Amino acid sequence: MTGVRSRGEDVRRFILEHVEKHPADIARVAADHFKITRQAVNKHLQRLTSGKALAESGATRNRSYRLCPLSEWTKRFQVDGLEEDVVWRNDILPAMGEMPGNVRSIWQYGFTEMLNNAIDHSGGTQITVRIRKSAVAAEMMILDNGVGIFRKIREAMHLLDERHAILELSKGKLTTDPANHTGEGIFFSSRMFDAFDILSGGIFLSHQAGEREDWILERGRSAGTAVWMKLHNHTARTTRKIFGQYANGEDYGFNKTVVPVKLARYGQEQLVSRSQAKRLLARVAVFKAVILDFREVPSIGQAFADEIFRVFANRHPEIALSTVHAGAEVKRMIERAKAGGTAMEASRKQPARRSRG
């Protein structure tokens, strides 16, 4: 009986974890996965529905399912005198309910970092926190009525455009108040959660677990900043593992970064100029290892490549510069830039020829 019950639990967990992507055909997907009949899957669907883990709608042929929230919670806070650790302990932790230790640590890190950012940097007067928890995952949104995070970064760093702020955020170690903040909160929070989004001033940043690049989407203008985080209730991820991914060698400090190269361009423009390369390389000298991610960048220009792989590389030999997801055309341009640097170095070492006559 124990084996049968265990398999039934596996089927129900599979349904819960996949129903968001397959609301109308989850019975077929589960039946195919476990090699059982749809009638058998329907019994599990009925059990989940009666237990209010799932909600169903539509007639038999058009029936669909969705996750039911087990709990929903909202509270508005006044910024004046607000302390993130007190809010976490007195309000958020009771609202979240029971969690495995590693999950609780991730939520504590993400929430306190994001709330502290809103308190110290938003310039707003109110912050609203919303929590929604289902049988599979928990979601949290933190909204403030301040100036907007991307606008704040643009103004503080004298950037040309708010989209530059996302490029800088993707590198890490970005703060508008270096005396009081390390600039690591958003970077590490975005890597700890299954999904991490920021909407501010019409710019939408989205980072998904397992993806190295950050996405920029244009939306309607919005006041303040909204941060949305989602995490599976039983993830194996830990804060220690995430921190460790960005430590280089035996140094456990934050000294390695992955830079999405595509964020250095606007729209469909090509990456061809030295100014674009300098924008991409801004602040990366604070790291010991820099990985340039060329995903979705089919080609680069000679000047762009030369600025990175010859000029910058020669100026900063102490930085380990590497690439990932570079296509054949990009690799050829990188090798050309490196070869140019080698040739110039060799020519400097050649003894000067004496002129005759």
Q: What is the mean pLDDT of residues 67-88?
A: 94
Q: What are phi and psi of 96, to 5 degrees?
A: -75, -30
Do 213 and 252 lie in one domain? The reply is: no
Does residue 113 belong to any structural domain of this protein?
Answer: yes
* The predicted structure's pLDDT at residue 205: 83
Please, which pLDDT band fits residue 179 given cuts at 50, 70 and 90? low
Q: 352 pLDDT exceeds 60?
A: no
Q: Of 32, 48, 67, which residue sits at a domain end?
A: 67
Do the bridges between strand 256-260 and strand 71-78 make them parallel or antiparallel, or are there none, so unpaired? Answer: unpaired
Do 287 and 307 lie in one domain? The reply is: yes
Contact 173, 183 (CB under 8 A): yes
Q: Give me the DSSP letters along 166-191.
A: HHHHHHS---S-TTT--S-HHHHHHH
Q: How far is CA 272 from the centre of its chain?
A: 27
Q: What are phi and psi of 8, to 5 degrees?
A: -60, -40
Does residue 226 belong to any structural domain of this protein?
Answer: yes
Do 239 and 254 lie in one domain? The reply is: no
Does residue 355 belong to any structural domain of this protein?
Answer: no
Does residue 190 belong to any structural domain of this protein?
Answer: yes
Cα gap 114→84, rounded to integer Å: 9
Q: pLDDT tens digits for 187-209?
A: 889 889 999 999 888 788 888 87
What residues pair up with 225 in beta bridges, in sequence order?
A: 144, 200
Q: 80 pLDDT exceeds 50?
A: yes
Do 33 and 113 lie in one domain? The reply is: no
Contact 202, 151 (CB under 8 A): no
Q: Of 10, 33, 67, which residue sits at a domain end?
A: 67
* The predicted structure's pLDDT at residue 122: 87
Domains in the chain, number: 3
Cα gap 109→105, rounded to integer Å: 6
Do 214 and 302 lie in one domain? The reply is: no
Do 77 and 123 lie in one domain? The reply is: yes
> What CATH number is associated with residue 42?
1.10.10.10
Q: Of the ranges 25-34, 65-74, 265-274, which one carries the lowest mean pLDDT score? A: 265-274
Please, which pLDDT band fits residue 355 given cuts at 50, 70 and 90? very low
Q: What is the mean pLDDT of residues 66-83?
A: 94
Do the bridges between strand 137-144 and strand 195-200 make them parallel or antiparallel, or are there none, so unpaired? Answer: unpaired
User: For residue 96, which of 136, 143, 138 has the smallest C-alpha distance?
Assistant: 138
Does residue 34 belong to any structural domain of this protein?
Answer: yes
> What CATH number is associated with residue 252?
3.30.750
Q: pLDDT tens digits for 237-287?
A: 999 988 888 766 555 467 888 888 988 887 778 999 999 999 999 989 988
Considering only the C-alpha atoms of the chain, give the largest distance between any 2 of them, rounded to a whole number of Å. 103
Select, from the ranges 89-103, 161-175, 340-354, the one with the highest average predicted confidence (pLDDT): 89-103
Give the torsion through C-alpha atoms of 64, 67, 71, 73, to 10 deg: -90
The pTM for the full model equals 0.74
Do 117 and 191 lie in one domain? The reply is: yes
Contact 183, 169 (CB under 8 A): no
**What domain range includes position 342?**
248-348
